[in-house]
Structure 1
């Protein structure tokens, strides 16, 4: 153990060095097409990272992390093909791995992650969301490896600040003296509500299904409610007022059958101006059949493109509903700038970096300003490392619900050998239930049981079969 002294205070934390990094991928094909914003996703590779760390005594351990390489979210430039979008994320992994292995000095996990993110974004300028993809994976895998080496859980590592948030890499707006106390106050829960995503081409009723999948899992919103018992929902908006109004009316007809429900709206950057969104809200409020749905809206996520968000004040909209930034959250100062425009919320996504999520939580818990909030948003997290590490993070952050959509669009641990599936199912019997081809995420009465994520390591009692994957292309 060492004391890493820097600007703003000191933090006692172990130092580690990353000595090996291997990258792999698996091809994933969705059981249902997922339309968000202007893109429809039918397939994408899932990236896997294996990291070996070494402590100051020369002991080593390996850890892992995984994330879907989803096209048309990190970079929505229409000139780029989906394949080129995926190549951007592969390039981020390669650049981040090279930068990590060039660092010869042992340091805290937090400092290693911050330095790697800064250096990778410097090497890949232009889109910090895409450039930050690789650093986020390496940071998770390194933390997993350290936890396995130390024989502790992710929750213990964070709450005891063994990750080392502090020192000279701490952003200037966070008081180092309060960091450890804030982290120590975090308490993971034993379960969390799953917020079901309703994609733009998802069938609403059973009568809307034109092409049945036939795998016994739900396709329509009606069937989702009956199968999983969700009470939280995330509704994707298209930006077309008439089309959105018609679809919302059909969604409300299903949700209104329940005694109680809550929803969030996701604009996915589809609204060109505040007036356009105001017009949709006005139409919703003037439609009696949407009265319950309107009352159930918790917040609106990223309505405007990232190109104009920071130049577009919410104005009167901010008085009508809470608003959250997601795609525009591309750096440490983004939330502060967005707050000046009327936003009060910001997303947590493991693909943006677990330490960035923790710092957002610290800012919100210790900052001033009414109604500030953090929300867990999905990027089609898949069964296994990806969904487990994200669930552990949002639970520790104190969130009561999280968007979950990977289990709906992809059934189980696609592409994994049966032995790997069996290891994960045995390690996390509360999180998974047995399906026709292996473990499926278990959601009962709208909630996910996650007590088993408190195991040694970063939320996983098993590791993938890396040797059964193909190297990152």
Structure 2
């Protein structure tokens, strides 16, 4: 741990939210999402010398992802997420002794999961609270020290250290100091389960001037990276993948894709049946060759119980929804998984620890076998998407799933002054089109140099006065 990591107290935490309405329905797993609240956390820290600073974080409150119990309504899921935010707030404010930013996380994380478990919340759900509070505290630390997120992590100002015995002897300072963030990143476009592939698939158009079909998306944004959702029914998945391949295979340039199972299969045998069927179809040959990995195909209830023979599948497999605790990746590795996703909704420190594991395991094997991917939970333009991009960029991941810009009409629903503040602060990342500030994707990439600014990747802040208390 960096010896000069500042010690601080967390003095105030505010929980806020505002509504997000989708321009297109987004189906993932068992839910078709049309609207959801976005949560915001503001935190005030106090350094030992009496200085004080505020920081913030934001994340969509997505239903049926953290807890996929079909007996619960979307509103039930929203209340669960509000509850775990309150648990994290109380645990953090009760941690009165000075500590590094990472030290506060390490001292309160288990308590948040334990209290969540008492309320019937699984670890993935319970982690959502600390995930936002930790980012807000880190943002405040960066602003108080007058440094960017990148510089703060390279100098290990949060004080990240060996939270588990497995990390004894691991050089976190050296690992973080070696991070070299890029100034642009490739965008992996999500093709949801009800997304239109061609014009013929549209029952009616939204007609807001933005692309609505996969064909239009490729034409408008120039993507070469794609994330394809599959639904657990082999025949239906094959038919849909062939429709997608018919569009992607028109490209002269190479493309890459990932398959997201969203826990839709009960066993490795079910996944194997899909893979065998895909490999048997000549129309899917190029698509299959483009696949980088398969994401969480097996329901989390069973995923870490039985061995997964990734060699038979022919592609590496990663966990996402199974990544509930800080050591889930260790369990997954023992079952044959080779990767894990980074999502800010699961916790920035979890991502850093998993990246450290990949580095240590790969060094031990002498080859780059274990890896991290960068996935989205419909992160919204502004604070949420910027912090998520900055985290995966720091970790050296060169492409990231982005879907919020496609399913939501940019910053159209927020006050005009807030839109313009983000556009001015990050002119490389945003553009104004069809009446709203939105991500500026060109040739399938985002320019992100402006994220290297004071604070956690944002030189602008949301209009908190336009929100309601959580």
Structure 1 and Structure 2 fold alike (TM over 0.5)? yes
**Match 1:466 to one of 454, 464, 467:** 464
Q: After TM superposition, list the pairs within 5 Å mapping 1:380-395 onto structure 2.
A: 380-395=378-393
The alpha-carbon distance between structure 1 residues 129 and 386, as it changes in their structure 2 partners (threshold 3 A), is same
Aligned 1:108-187 pairs, distance under 5 A: 108-125=100-117, 126-166=121-161, 170-187=163-180
TM-score (norm 1): 0.96
CA contact (8 A) 2:196 2:212 kept: yes
How big is the shift at 1:381?
Answer: 0.5
Computed over aligned residues only, the root mean square deviation of the Cα atoms, in angstroms, reads: 1.2
> Which residue, out of 82, 87, 97, partners 2:79?
87
What is the SS of the residue equivalent to 2:195?
A: coil
**Equivalent residue for 1:349?**
343
1:335 aligns with 329
Alignment of structure 1 residues 52-451 onto 2, 5 Å: 52-125=44-117, 126-166=121-161, 170-259=163-252, 260-315=254-309, 317=311, 320-367=314-361, 368-369=364-365, 370=367, 371-451=369-449
The structural deviation recorded for 1:261 is: 0.4
Deviation at 1:318, TM superposition (A): 5.1
SS at match of 1:111: helix
Q: Distance in 2 between matches of 1:282 and 1:256?
A: 20
Which structure 1 segments of 5+ residues have no match?
A: 1-8
Question: How far does residue 436 in structure 1 lie from its aligned partner after superposition?
Answer: 2.9
Per-residue CA deviations over 1:84-118 (Å, capped at 9, x if unaligned) read 11111000111111111111111000111222222
* Partners of 1:41 and 1:83 in 2: CA distance: 12
User: Which residue in the other structure is 1:4 paired with?
Assistant: none
Distance 1:319 1:199, change over 3 A: closer
Q: Deviations over 1:307-363 (max 9, x none)?
A: 000112112655611000000011122111111111100010001110110111111
SS at match of 1:335: helix
Query: If the length of structure 2 is used for normalisation, what is the TM-score?
Result: 0.96
- 1:27 is aligned to 2:19: yes
* Number of residue equivalences: 462
Q: Structure 1 stretch 411-420 or stretch 222-231: which is displaced more?
A: 411-420
Q: Which runs of 5+ in 2 are unaligned?
A: none
Measure the CA separation in 2 of the matches of 1:356 and 1:274: 26
Could you say what secondary structure the match of 1:40 adopts?
A: strand
Find the aligned partners of 1:162 and 1:389 in 2 and give their Cα distance: 17
CA contact 2:266–2:299 (8 Å) conserved in 1: yes
- How many angstroms apart in 2 are the aligned matches of 1:401 and 1:329? 20
